[in-house]
């Protein structure tokens, strides 16, 4: 993917991270998802005192895009407030691979440095559609 598009995704993820609701962990995460038609959809984590009800940024972005009628995704950028790149949880990995094993997943640190994996690389031997 073009460097300018990657930087656009990173900027969108960084901006939406500011909206994260993380009063329990203090660990805000932002995600920006590039749909097949070029639209960008964002999501941030939304915690709950009953921790199992917490919504991760990655799944929030996917849900936002699906609610808008999207089903094809090219890439996602994920940023947390960390010096190291932060990897998605297992549930998010499964949701990402469901929508595209070849989706590019950019894990971004606070300096804007990133590592790229495909969704399938992050979750080998995932559950798959029949």
- Asked whether residue 22 is domain-assigned, the answer is yes
Please give the Cα distance from 88 to 85 (Å, whole number).
10
Query: What's phi and psi for 34, nearest 5 deg?
Result: -100, 115
Condensed to tens digits (0 to 9), the pLDDT of residues 95-129 reads: 999 999 999 999 999 999 999 999 999 999 888 76
- In which element (H, E) is residue 116 found? strand 114-118
Condensed to tens digits (0 to 9), the pLDDT of residues 36-81 reads: 999 999 999 999 999 999 999 999 999 999 999 999 999 999 999 9
Rounded to two decimals, what is the model's pTM? 0.95
Instruction: Enumerate the active-site residues.
Output: 58
Condensed to tens digits (0 to 9), the pLDDT of residues 10-37 reads: 999 999 999 999 999 999 999 999 999 9
- Asked whether residue 127 is domain-assigned, the answer is no
pLDDT at 64: 98
- Asked whether residue 129 is domain-assigned, the answer is no
pLDDT at 127: 81
- Asked whether residue 130 is domain-assigned, the answer is no
We report the CATH number of the domain holding residue 16 as 3.40.140.10
Distances 130 to 22, 72, 106, 113, 127 between C-alpha atoms, Å: 36, 18, 28, 37, 9
What are the tokens at 77?
């950028």
- Asked whether residue 102 is domain-assigned, the answer is yes
Task: Read off the pLDDT band of 130 (50, 70, 90).
Answer: very low
pLDDT at 126: 85
Number of domains in the chain: 1
Question: In terms of residue numbers, what domain contains 113?
Answer: 1-122
- Of 56, 36, 34, nearest to 44 by C-alpha is 56
- Asked whether residue 117 is domain-assigned, the answer is yes
Residue set of the binding site for Zn(2+):
56, 89, 92
- Asked whether residue 56 is domain-assigned, the answer is yes
- Of 126, 31, 115, nearest to 73 by C-alpha is 31
pLDDT at 129: 61
Residue set of the binding site for substrate:
45-51
């Amino acid at each position: 993917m073009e460097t300018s598009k990657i930087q656009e995704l990173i900027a969108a993820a960084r901006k939406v991270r500011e909206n994260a609701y993380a009063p329990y962990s203090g660990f805000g995460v932002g995600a920006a998802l590039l749909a097949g038609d070029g639209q960008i959809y964002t999501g941030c984590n939304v915690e709950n005192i009953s921790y199992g009800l917490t919504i991760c940024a990655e799944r929030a972005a996917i849900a936002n895009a699906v609610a808008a009628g999207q089903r094809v995704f090219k890439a996602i950028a994920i940023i947390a407030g960390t010096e190291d790149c932060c990897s998605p949880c297992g549930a998010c990995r499964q949701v990402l691979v469901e929508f595209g094993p070849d989706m590019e997943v950019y894990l971004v640190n606070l300096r804007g440095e990133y590592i790229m994996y495909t969704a399938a690389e992050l979750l080998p031997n995932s559950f798959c559609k029949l």
